[in-house]
Amino acid sequence: MIRISLIVAIVAALAAGALNVFQIRDKINTLITERDDFHSKWDQTRNELNTTRQELTKTKDDLTQTQQTLASTQTQLTNAMVTATTQQKRADELADKLTKTTQERDDAQNQLAAFKATGLTADQVGGLNKALKSTQNELAAVQEENSVLQRTVNRLTVKLNELIGSNYVVTLRADLKGKVMAVDPKWNFVVLNIGGDQGVLDDGEMLVSRDGKLVAKVIVRSVQKDRSIANIIPGWQLGDIIEGDEVTPAHPAS
């Protein structure tokens, strides 16, 4: 009996040990699984952090570029305004000179025609005429240069306002009118017979009409001296645009 009891006790002990081994193995497997899950989540979190850092770096770079572009545009606008002011002053001085020269020439010619003693010879009168013509040519050149500078100022002002705020609306001259010269329905753009000389600005919106009825709205994308190219704004085309349709500002300046 003692021997049998010992054998039973040994068998029970072995069974209990085996049971403990299975339980410990299950716990070990559970710990391994939890460890692997933790490492997986850790790697995922680290990758997401790296991605976020990269995106943040790119955002900072984009912001720096935008700030540099804004500063450059403001500098160009300031320089253009200063140059325009200087040229306007020069034009005013030339206009005064032209008025004075014209008066002197008229006085000389009137006195010469009336045979009055003026002290001026025919050569001197001819010299005044030459000076007048030279001044007129110089004034015309300055006025043309002023016109170019004003268009530059307008273009830079539009660009600056676009950089400062996304809700900015480009206003065009209230009396600006033109017509459609050509239409490309495949690429949704039109060519207008008005350009920078008439006051058209980049991103200016214009209404296309025929017989007083709205046909479409377009936005200017390229401005040349006497013509411009505009894209048809999606959702605003109420009919087919044809050559000869009239265009007017959608946002006229007050």
Q: What is the pLDDT of residue 115?
A: 47
**237 Cβ partners below 8 Å, 6+ apart?**
215, 216
Q: What is the mean pLDDT of the chain?
A: 80
Residue with tokens 């017989």: 211
**Confidence class for position 20, pLDDT limits 50, 70, 90:** low
Separation of alpha carbons 156 and 165, rounded Å: 14
Span 128-147, average pLDDT: 75
* pLDDT tens, residue by residue, 87-109: 888 888 888 888 888 888 887 77
Separation of alpha carbons 131 and 124, rounded Å: 10
Half-sphere exposure of 36 (CA within 13 A, CB side): 5
What are the structural domains of the chain? Answer: 1-168 (1.10.287), 178-249 (2.40.10)
Higher local confidence (pLDDT), 60 or 27: 60
Q: What is the pLDDT of residue 226?
A: 92
Q: Is the pTM for the entire model greater than 0.75?
A: no
* pLDDT tens, residue by residue, 43-71: 788 888 788 788 878 878 877 887 788 77
Separation of alpha carbons 142 and 116, rounded Å: 37
Higher local confidence (pLDDT), 18 or 126: 126
